[in-house]
Amino acid sequence: MDDRVKVFERAKELLLDHDMMGFANLWAVDGTLEFPFAPAGRPRLLEGREAVRAYVRDYADHIDLRAVAHQVVHRTEDPEVLIVEFSMDAVAVSSGRPLRPSYIAVITVRNGEIASYRDYWNPLMLSEVGFGAEEDRTHD
């Protein structure tokens, strides 16, 4: 298994364990997390591991990720880049309602750390899980 797949597999384990600080620690100190489809009031770009930590610190208070429902891994010709399509079985913590969020992630891994993670998620999920606009924690 190459580094980029190992890092993604570890990221999934940490998410399912609700270890959000462990998840954030996968980022390089200067790594980025980008949300190209983020709606107004939500961050589009997080720069650096500390910004990722601040963003994910209370994620599990809103959404309880329980299992990977579907996954397709695409290894690219670039040995650092991985594209993954996946969905998770989850529960909205505030309502107890079951969810199945879907993602497409473009991940660049260098030296065993995430250098860049572009997260193409569905922003309509926000209303299901009770996330508010958190401009004070992140920036556009």
Collect the ranges in the chain with pLDDT lower than 50. Answer: 131-140
Using the Cα atoms of residue 32, residue 57, residue 64 and residue 1 in order, give the sign of their dihedral: positive
In CATH, what is the architecture of 3-121? Roll (3.10)
Q: CB of 60 within 8 A of CB of 18?
A: yes
Q: 34 has which bridge partners?
A: 45, 118
Give me the residue spans of the domains in the chain.
3-121
Neighbours of 99 (CB within 10 A): 19
- List, for residues 30-70, the tens digit of each pLDDT value: 999 999 998 888 899 999 999 999 999 999 998 999 999 99
Tokens linked to 16: 């399912």
Nearest to 114 by CA among 40, 56, 37, 63: 56
CA pair distance 71, 98, nearest whole angstrom? 19
pTM for this model (two decimals)? 0.86
